[in-house]
């Protein structure tokens, strides 16, 4: 098990350290960690937010554990040298076309959700978002139209092969749960969504165990808020996924608890290659103060073990330890508590 550890900037190193200690505490045979610089720290040390050396390490590993990037010192740099570019570069270089974002309200933390507690309790879904296509990457421009005013345009498109490969990721993810997949599109008005829906239906025909439904994305947004229990996996494109995943995270209401994964179709000897990271950023406002909640990064390790190494039992052990710690009142500042980063990490390890 070769894992690249890229802590990055701000609270990245603090939360990653605790997550690595949790991983090491499992005592998995053959675990080897490789450290790399990424983000603002990499710019300062090597002149680039994603140095060649880091990329080589990541490519030679079975999975990447990523902290966070973002450094106020780098705000004035050229766009391609900004820390945030490292994430885009890694996705591109590693062929990571799918983003997996679980949104789950933990028992006892319903009050952090803006939803009613009885609705929040049932929020436990996974958004599978396509990352490399859609309107963000289509032809675009600004033109002077017939009325002689500026008109911006961006082309939305998805090919069948692009849809098929993200659908397969959603089906694989659904199988780790209860096999429900809801595809969110706008097939009533968009040609892109017509191809999307037809292709998802066709791809599902080879997977009879998958319980596939379809929903217009505007309705899906409403249903995440009003009746989240109906969702297992939500499969969607880049634009809709961008919006739905932030919506779902906000519905959970605790930024320091949510992990994420980016995967492609590259297989390793252990399973599927993936990059795992908390959804929060580098949080420069609390960096270096020992206040960050490492649970999102610790849960990213659980996601890694399940998705890239097929280690369901170990993943469940970590998740259970986090849930037990929360149930025992271990809370970071983001959850209205007073426990620091190291104390939370230790509390989770004790409960492994
Ligand atoms: P980015 O642009 O990198 O997404 P951001 O400015 O959106 O950064 P985050 O870094 O995600 O912000 O943080 C948003 C707020 O949440 C900040 O006030 C930060 O201190 C807090 N926060 C984020 N992550 C954590 C964490 N793990 N533990 C505690 N507080 C956190
Ligand atoms: Mg942000």
Q: Is 211 a catalytic residue?
A: no
Give 256 Cα–ligand 1 centroid separation in angstroms. 8
Kindly give, in sequence order, each residue whose CB lies less than 8 Å from that of residue 104, ignoring residues fewer than 6 positions away.
Answer: 123, 124, 125, 252, 258
Q: If pLDDT is split at 50, 70 and 90, which confidence band does 254 have?
A: confident
**Which bound ligand lies closest to the C-alpha atom of 281?**
1
- The pair of structure tokens assigned to 186 is 């706008």
Does position 216 have pLDDT exceeding 90, yes or no?
A: yes
The answer to whether residue 242 is catalytic is: yes
HEC assignment per residue over 80-119: HHCCCHHHHHHHHHHCCCEEEEEEECCCCCHHHCCCCHHH
- From 122, 124, 211, 246, active-site residue: 246
Q: Which one from 124, 136, 211, 216 is the annotated catalytic residue?
A: 136
Catalytic residue among 186, 276, 311, 334: 186
What is the per-residue pLDDT for 187?
97
The answer to whether 286 is annotated as binding is: yes
The structure tokens 């994603």 sit at 50
d(CA 135, CA 218): 17
What pLDDT is stored for residue 243 in this prediction?
96
Say which CATH topology domain 1-96+257-352 has: Isopropylmalate Dehydrogenase (3.40.718)
Q: Which atom of ligand 1 lies nearest, measured to the CA of 70?
A: 3
ipTM above 0.85, yes or no: yes
Instruction: Judge whether 62 counts as a catalytic residue.
Output: no
Catalytic residue among 35, 154, 198, 218: 218
Please give the order of strands across the beta sheet that includes 233-236.
32-35, 2-8, 63-68, 272-278, 259-267, 98-104, 124-130, 233-236, 180-185, 211-216
Region 334-342 average pLDDT: 94
Domain limits, the chain: 1-96+257-352, 110-253
Whether 122 has a pLDDT exceeding 90, the answer reads: yes
pLDDT score of 160: 98
pLDDT, residue 255, reads 87
pLDDT at 98 over 90: yes
Ligand nearest to the CA of 11: 1
Q: For residue 292, report the distance from its CA to the centre of ligand 1, in Å.
A: 9
Can you tell me the mean pLDDT for 210-231? 98
Length of the chain: 352
283 is annotated as contributing to ligand binding? yes
CA of 337 from ligand 1 middle (Å) equals: 16
Residue in the structure block whose two tokens are 């004790």? 350
Ligand nearest to the CA of 256: 1
Stated pTM of the model: 0.94
* Annotation says 122 is catalytic: no
| pLDDT tens-digit series, residues 184-211 | 999 999 999 999 999 999 999 999 999 9
Residues with CB under 5 A from ligand 2 (ion): 281
Q: Is the pLDDT of residue 263 over 90?
A: yes
Q: Does domain 110-253 have CATH number 3.40.50.300?
A: no
Among 19, 85, 255, say which to mutate for ligand 1: greatest number of ligand atoms within 8 Å of CB: 255
Which ligand sits nearest to residue 69's alpha carbon?
1
Q: What is the per-residue pLDDT across 133-159, written as a single tens digit (0 to 9) for each?
A: 999 999 999 999 999 999 999 999 999
What mean pLDDT is reported for the chain?
96
C-alpha closest to that of 236 among 228, 245, 248: 245
Written as six digits, the tokens of 30 are 């053959």
Decide if 1-96+257-352 and 110-253 have a common fold: yes
- Give the SS3 label for residue 187: coil
- Residue 285 annotated as binding? yes
Does the annotation list 284 as a binding residue? yes
Full DSSP string of 230-271: G-SEEEE-HHHHHHHHHHHHHHHT-GGG-EEEEEEEEE-SSS
| 253 is known to lie in a ligand binding site | no
Distances, alpha carbon 178 to alpha carbons 205, 231, 244, in Å? 18, 10, 21
Whether 287 has a binding-site annotation, put simply, is yes
Task: Note the pLDDT of residue 19.
Answer: 98
Q: DSSP secondary-structure letter at 109?
A: -
Using a 6 Å CB cutoff, which residues line ligand 1?
A: 11, 15, 70, 255-256, 280-283, 285-286, 292-293, 296, 332-334
Average the pLDDT over 295-318 and give the result.
97
* Distance from residue 281's CA to the centre of ligand 2 (Å): 6
pLDDT on residue 90:
95
């Amino acid at each position: 098990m070769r894992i690249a550890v890229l802590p990055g900037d701000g609270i990245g190193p603090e939360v990653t350290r605790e997550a690595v200690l949790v991983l090491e505490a499992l005592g998995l045979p053959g675990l080897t960690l490789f450290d790399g610089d990424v983000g603002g720290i990499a710019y300062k040390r090597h002149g680039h937010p994603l140095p060649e050396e880091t990329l080589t390490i990541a490519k030679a590993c079975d999975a990447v554990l990523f902290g966070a990037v973002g450094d106020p010192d780098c705000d004035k740099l050229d766009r391609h040298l900004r820390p945030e570019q490292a994430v885009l570069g890694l996705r591109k270089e590693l062929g990571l076309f799918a983003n997996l974002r679980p949104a789950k309200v933990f028992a006892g933390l319903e009050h952090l959700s803006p939803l009613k507690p009885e609705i929040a309790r049932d929020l436990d879904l996974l958004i599978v978002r396509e990352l490399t296509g859609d309107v963000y990457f289509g032809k675009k421009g600004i033109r002077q139209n017939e009325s002689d005013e500026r008109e911006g345009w961006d082309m939305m498109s998805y090919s069948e092969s692009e849809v098929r490969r993200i659908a397969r990721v959603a089906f694989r993810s659904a199988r780790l749960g209860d096999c429900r997949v809801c595809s969110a599109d706008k097939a009533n008005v968009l040609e892109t969504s017509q191809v999307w829906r037809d292709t998802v239906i066709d791809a599902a025909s080879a997977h009879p165990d998958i319980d596939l439904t379809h929903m217009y994305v505007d309705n899906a947004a409403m249903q995440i808020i009003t009746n989240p229990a109906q969702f297992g996996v939500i499969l969607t494109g880049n634009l809709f996924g961008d919006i739905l995943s932030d919506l779902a995270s906000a519905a959970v209401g605790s930024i320091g608890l949510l992990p994420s994964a980016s995967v492609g179709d590259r297989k390793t000897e252990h399973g599927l290659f993936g990059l795992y990271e908390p959804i929060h950023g580098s949080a420069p406002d609390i960096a270096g103060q020992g206040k960050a909640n490492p649970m999102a990064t610790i849960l990213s390790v659980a996601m890694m073990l399940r998705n890239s190494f097929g280690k369901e039992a170990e993943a469940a052990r970590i998740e259970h330890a986090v849930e037990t710690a929360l149930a025992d009142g271990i809370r970071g500042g983001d959850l209205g508590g007073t426990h620091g980063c190291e104390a939370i990490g230790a509390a989770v390890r004790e409960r492994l």
